[in-house]
């Protein structure tokens, strides 16, 4: 990622400009500390500043994280999107633990990406200013630091949850970086329970504005009985990873520009991957000011953007689950798709461990691809062609672990999905939008989008016209789609909408 000019970076630091938070870090040579641009400490002299595009670059240059502005709480903006698909894929794998553990290596990571180790290192230095190992270690350190500050987990569990191979290595790194043991960073006011069954609670920041009511309304309309609950407590759902089951609860802290996430799960080593999924589900990485400003260049769309500042593009908890939802929603209403999903879960879902849920209404975990690929028959009331499409999707997901990974161009992603029998253009675009997090995905044939376009433009729209119309919204067509769906909500009320 290319940084602005040095003087521009310094002005952002002087003004504590929040627009640069998560995109810019400053290393202060006189103290050996790196900070966020919003740090409340006295602004250092320009000659003592070094600027970095990532926390990992600052840490690799020999600076240690600031204890006042806490870089681990910085906005986790997807600033690398659009710069390198390989880097984005590698970061997703690193977040899932690809460089954690004794047997992990950059060579193995590069092999999974289909490139050479040296080329991967070059790409990381070019786009992030740091090596893959440095990025992984910085993520571990900052996540561990957040757990130390915000929870009462024992240090051994903090080390495990953050992906450290041993408590000895964990202690060594913290002594080197902070000149004190990890326990020396814990404040007495840390108030979260140390029990994984009771839950680990963390705050995840976002860049405002954030339309929480719109996000919650979207999730409420599609909540699968037994799997999801949306009420005045926020969003609750069951989760399953590698045979273990638990739950998450997400609430809004508008005064702190954050979401509060409580994770109840029997294995803390999955915590980074769970938090990463929550970020994707609630679209916390969006630079929403930039997106809204771009869409507002369209004079007809601008008033609708102004009506709903901070409207996000909801993701999905699990890519396979999202693909199943898309097939269930083909040519039926949102409520009908929800009902079918409930039937599928009741027939084929795994029972959740009640030690790790906070509400007895949470009873099932959504079935895995391995389950649906072999079960006969899929016991839900829908046409045989769509039941067959579910089987095809499950088989494809089992055969190709990278089926739902975002790599290559969006056109390549759509073509890959469309090879699955029963997955057409609308379904592929929908999966790309919510599961692959493609910001330019656009299911133009959706009835709700066409109706929304009629409301925005005041004239009847066709798929061809809408596609032409959407060219000016690139590369944020997925967000334009949210505004079209919202604009057409009144028109689609009581009518069939295929947006599931």
Last residue of a domain, one of 25, 47, 71: 71
Q: Which of 167-171, 298-302, 484-488, 492-496 has the highest mean pLDDT?
A: 298-302
Residues facing residue 202 across a β-bridge = 261
Contact between 438 and 406 (Cβ < 8 Å)? yes
Q: Is the pTM of this model over 0.75?
A: yes
Question: How confident is the model at residue 194, as a pLDDT?
Answer: 52
pLDDT over threshold 80, residue 21? yes
Q: Which tens digit of pLDDT belongs to each residue from 451-480?
A: 999 999 999 999 999 999 999 999 999 999
Q: Which tens digit of pLDDT belongs to each residue from 59-89?
A: 989 999 998 999 988 877 544 444 566 787 7
Q: How much is the average pLDDT of 380-386?
A: 88
Q: Which pairing describes strands 49-52 and 244-253: parallel, antiparallel, or unpaired?
A: unpaired
Whether residues 355 and 437 fall in one domain = yes
Whether residues 167 and 107 fall in one domain = yes
Q: What is the CATH number of the domain that holds 93?
A: 1.10.10.60
Would you say residue 242 lies in a domain?
Answer: no
pLDDT confidence of 407, banded at 50, 70, 90? low
Among 15-19, 123-127, 187-191, 442-446, the minimum mean pLDDT is found in 187-191
DSSP of 164-213: -S-HHHHHHHHHHHHSS-GGGG--TT----S-TTT-EEEEEE-PSP--HH
Q: How much is the average pLDDT of 120-131?
A: 89
Whether residues 441 and 477 fall in one domain = yes
Contact between 147 and 186 (Cβ < 8 Å)? no
Burial degree of 51 (CB within 10 A; 0-12, 13-18, 19+): buried
Whether residues 165 and 17 fall in one domain = no
Whether residues 380 and 486 fall in one domain = yes
Would you say residue 329 lies in a domain?
Answer: yes
Question: How confident is the model at residue 82, as a pLDDT?
Answer: 45
Whether residues 339 and 464 fall in one domain = yes
Whether residues 439 and 367 fall in one domain = yes
Q: Which tens digit of pLDDT belongs to each residue from 154-193?
A: 999 999 999 888 899 999 999 988 888 999 988 765 545 4
Q: How much is the average pLDDT of 365-377?
A: 93
Residues facing residue 230 across a β-bridge = 235
- At residue 411, φ and ψ (nearest 5 deg) are -65, -40
Question: How confident is the model at residue 256, as a pLDDT?
Answer: 92
Whether residues 12 and 133 fall in one domain = no
Q: What is the CATH number of the domain that holds 368?
A: 1.10.340.30
In the chain, the number of structural domains is 3
Q: Report the Cα 374 to chain-centroid distance in Å.
A: 30
Whether residues 18 and 147 fall in one domain = no
Please compute Rg for the chain using Cα positions: 23
pLDDT over threshold 60, residue 37? yes
pLDDT confidence of 100, banded at 50, 70, 90? confident
Question: How confident is the model at residue 69, as a pLDDT?
Answer: 92
Would you say residue 32 lies in a domain?
Answer: yes
Instruction: Name the residues annotated as catalytic.
Output: 35, 446
Would you say residue 191 lies in a domain?
Answer: no
Whether residues 20 and 110 fall in one domain = no
Whether residues 54 and 153 fall in one domain = no
pLDDT over threshold 80, residue 2? no
Whether residues 32 and 115 fall in one domain = no
Encoded tokens for 166: 């041993």
- Residue carrying the six token digits 């596609």: 467
CB atoms within 10 A of CB 82: 11
Domain that holds residue 31: 6-71
């Amino acid at each position: 990622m290319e940084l602005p000019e040095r003087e521009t970076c310094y002005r952002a630091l002087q003004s504590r400009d929040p627009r640069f938070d998560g995109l810019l870090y400053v290393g202060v040579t006189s103290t050996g500390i790196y900070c966020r641009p919003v740090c409340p400490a006295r602004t250092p002299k320009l000659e003592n500043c070094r600027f970095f595009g990532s926390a990992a670059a600052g840490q690799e240059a020999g600076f240690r994280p600031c204890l006042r502005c806490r870089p681990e709480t910085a906005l986790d903006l997807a600033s690398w999107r659009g710069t390198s698909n390989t880097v984005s894929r590698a970061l997703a794998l690193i977040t899932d633990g690809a460089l954690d553990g004794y047997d992990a290596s950059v060579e193995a990571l590069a092999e999974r990406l289909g490139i050479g180790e040296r080329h991967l290192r070059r790409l990381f230095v070019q786009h992030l200013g740091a090596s893959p190992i440095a990025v992984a270690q910085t993520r571990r350190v900052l996540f561990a630091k957040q757990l130390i500050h915000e929870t009462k987990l024992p240090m051994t569990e903090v080390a495990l949850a953050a992906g450290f191979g041993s408590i000895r290595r964990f202690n060594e790194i913290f002594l080197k970086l902070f000149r004190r043991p990890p326990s020396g960073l814990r404040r007495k006011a840390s108030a979260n329970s140390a029990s994984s069954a009771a839950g680990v609670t963390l705050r995840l920041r976002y860049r405002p504005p954030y339309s929480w009511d719109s996000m919650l309304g979207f999730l409420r309309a599609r909540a699968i009985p037994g799997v999801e609950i949306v009420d005045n407590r926020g969003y609750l759902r069951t989760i399953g990873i590698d045979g273990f089951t638990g739950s998450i609860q997400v609430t809004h802290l508008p005064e702190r520009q954050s979401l509060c996430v409580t994770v109840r799960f029997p294995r803390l080593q999955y915590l980074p991957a769970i938090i990463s999924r929550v970020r994707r589900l609630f679209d916390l990485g969006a630079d929403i000011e930039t997106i809204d400003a771009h869409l507002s260049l369209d004079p007809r769309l601008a008033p609708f953007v102004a009506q709903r500042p901070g409207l996000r593009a909801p993701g999905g908890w699990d890519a396979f689950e999202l693909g199943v939802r898309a097939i269930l929603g083909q040519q039926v209403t949102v409520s009908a798709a929800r009902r079918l999903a409930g039937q599928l879960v009741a027939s084929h879902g795994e029972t959740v461990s009640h030690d790790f849920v906070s509400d007895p209404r949470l009873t099932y975990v959504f079935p895995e691809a391995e389950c649906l690929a072999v079960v006969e028959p899929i016991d839900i009331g829908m046409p045989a062609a769509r039941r067959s499409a579910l089987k095809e999707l499950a088989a494809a997901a089992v055969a190709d672990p990278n089926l739902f990974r975002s790599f290559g161009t969006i056109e390549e992603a759509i073509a890959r999905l469309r090879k699955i029998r029963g997955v057409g253009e609308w379904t592929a675009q929908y999966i790309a939008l919510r599961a692959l997090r493609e910001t330019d995905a656009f299911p133009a044939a959706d009835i709700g989008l066409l109706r929304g376009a009629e409301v925005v433009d005041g004239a009847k729209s066709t798929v061809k016209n809408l596609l032409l119309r959407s060219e000016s919204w690139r590369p944020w067509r997925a967000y334009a789609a949210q505004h079209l769906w919202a604009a057409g909500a009144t028109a689609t009320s009581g009518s069939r909408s295929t947006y599931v």
